[in-house]
Amino acid sequence: MQKPSTARRLISYALVYKFRIIGALLILCCAVGAELGGPYITKTIIDQHLSTGTHTMAPVLKLLGLYMGLLLIASICNFSQAYLLQSTALQIIKNMRMDLMQHIQRISLRYFDNTPIGQVVSRIANDTEAVRDLFMSFMATFVVSMMQLTGIFVALFILDWHLALFCLVLPPIFALVMVVHLKYSKIFITIMRARLSDMNAMINESIVVMPIIQAFRREKVTLEEFEVLNKDRYVNQLKQFRIFSLSSRNIVGTIGSLVTAMVIWYFGRESLTTVISFGVFYAFIDYLGRIFQPIIGIFDQLTNAQRAFVSADKVFTILDMEGQEVEKTDKVSRPEGVVKFEDVTFAYKAGENVLKHISFEARKGETVALVGHTGSGKSSIMNLLLGFYEPDEGSITIDGRDIRKMSKQALRKHMGIVLQDPFLFAGDIKFNVSLYNEEISLKRVKNALRDVGAASFIEQLPNGYDEQVVERGSTLSSGQRQLISFARALAFDPSILILDEATASIDSETEGLIQRALKVVSEGRTTLVIAHRLSTIRDADQILVLHRGEIAERGNHETLMALGGRYAKMYQLQKGESAVVG
């Protein structure tokens, strides 16, 4: 099915507030009418004053009063329409941002794996802001300009229809100039928006990895890379401004001067043969000068409109991506936690399988450990279990139910996960454990932190459990962050607990605390562990040794050590390294 155009989709957002927009446009009509009445009243004052030859001021004062009244009405109407139109535009963009943010929650992780974070931020922040300009500036300018042009030509025909016919040539000329302007300007605006997105992505990446940049003295290289993007945007912006300067005020001003000269010549010639009204001459020149103001206004807003359409294309590209609805999980029952992989094959890229025919079962209360060298497929198994990706072949079941038939929210409701690189949100410590889940009380938060051995250092902080944590928890040590992330998983009381190399960045003392806590919290739960330190999984019920996406060995610690295969060699190597270090 063909997708609707960008213009139609923008109109659909505007139609939600159609009555407010129509009201603003009606007020706008009143303002334009009041403004256009000024020159005609001035013409009447001049003609009356010259025709009577007297200096009676009463009629003039009445007309002046009417003129001032119209200006006051126009001022009030302009304020009202501007407020209505701009507040409506803000509402439209607020809705668009919410739609975009909601849809991002539904998109597959594949998109985020291949898209820099800064580009996504640019879509939500910068591109929607550019669309706002379309509703706030261009719409008002375009409507006002069209109404003004219509009213001006009506007035010109009333004053002198012969000359007004000649002036009808102007709109097609300006329309042609606008088409040429839009054609060439779009090329540079598209590049400018792309470079802005790339710059945002690079800035975001640079801030996140600033310690690495400074440690490896990459400041100069980073600046040079940024300068390339910045200069390319600058060059294209200059080219776009060059087109704008040549095709807007320059052409309009030149044509306007020529037409004004022609009108003066026309009235001068007529005055030699017939008597003409000086009021008509003044009003015609005044209205003619007003023709070029709305044209220039439209030209001035064309860049904003084009930028808005380019940005809207990028926003709607994300909204068109396939996503899955975020479903409610109020009625989802707690599973037993029996996890089964049956002949699972998976590839991030077609033809490059990272998992090959993986089969195993983890029963309730068991701990299954996955070990292997980097790239062997350990994290891919966890990604499949969490529903971040779908297997290409085979099936994954929980309590005998295929996870592909479950909503992602229902699948993950009773899962807890602790990553190797723990992430803490900006907020206090108790929030980072409960994540504002109403079912998790402060007592439950404290118990979880106590179970993992984190209560001792938290209670020594100035504000205790209310201590504020900056983004990513950079004010805490890696071990402290990891303990809090453990407490977060335990507070949610999952049926299935996933530990993705969760003890890799923890010191030996903290590791001892974690090991004691895990023995308690793992009881009655299915626990899957990706292990970096083999000493932490000696008590696992089942150990799967992965090699190039396949299960090379399986069994408990004693069985695998007796086998003398890959696991035994890895364990002996780590044990030997520990001895050397000690």
Pairing of strands 496-500, 468-469: unpaired
**With contact defined as beta carbons under 8 Å apart, do 132 and 93 qualify?**
yes
Each residue's pLDDT tens digit, 93-146: 888 888 888 888 888 777 877 777 777 888 888 888 888 877 766 666 777 777
pLDDT at 578 over 50: no
Q: For position 543, what pLDDT does the model report?
A: 94
Q: What band does 341 get if pLDDT is binned at 50, 70 and 90?
A: very high
**With contact defined as beta carbons under 8 Å apart, do 563 and 555 qualify?**
yes
In the chain, list all ranges with CATH 1.20.1560.10: 90-319
Q: What band does 451 get if pLDDT is binned at 50, 70 and 90?
A: confident
Task: Please state, in angstroms and rounded to a whole number, the distance separating the CA atoms of residues 338 and 331.
Answer: 20
Q: For position 476, what pLDDT does the model report?
A: 80
Q: In what order do the strands lie in the sheet with 401-402?
A: 352-362, 339-349, 393-398, 401-402
Tokens standing for 97?
A: 């941002």
pTM > 0.85: yes or no: no
Q: Which residues contact 159 (CB under 8 A, 6 or more apart)?
A: 43, 280, 283, 284, 287
Over residues 534-543, the mean pLDDT reads: 85
Q: Residue 568 CB: number of other CB atoms within 10 A?
A: 16
pLDDT at 275 over 60: no
Q: Is 117 helix (H, G, I), strand (E, B) or coil?
A: helix
Calculate the average pLDDT of the chain. 79
Output the CA–CA distances (angstroms, integers) from residue 443 to 60, 189, 430, 491, in the order listed. Answer: 83, 56, 10, 10
Q: What band does 278 get if pLDDT is binned at 50, 70 and 90?
A: low
Task: Please state, in angstroms and rounded to a whole number, the distance separating the CA atoms of residues 366 and 384.
Answer: 19
In the chain, list all ranges with CATH 3.40.50.300: 335-414+495-512+523-556
Q: Which residues contact 145 (CB under 8 A, 6 or more apart)?
A: 294, 295, 297, 298
Q: Which CATH class is domain 90-319?
A: mainly alpha
Question: In CATH, what number does 335-414+495-512+523-556 get?
Answer: 3.40.50.300
Each residue's pLDDT tens digit, 60-71: 666 667 667 767
Each residue's pLDDT tens digit, 287-303: 777 777 778 777 777 77
**With contact defined as beta carbons under 8 Å apart, do 289 and 74 qualify?**
no
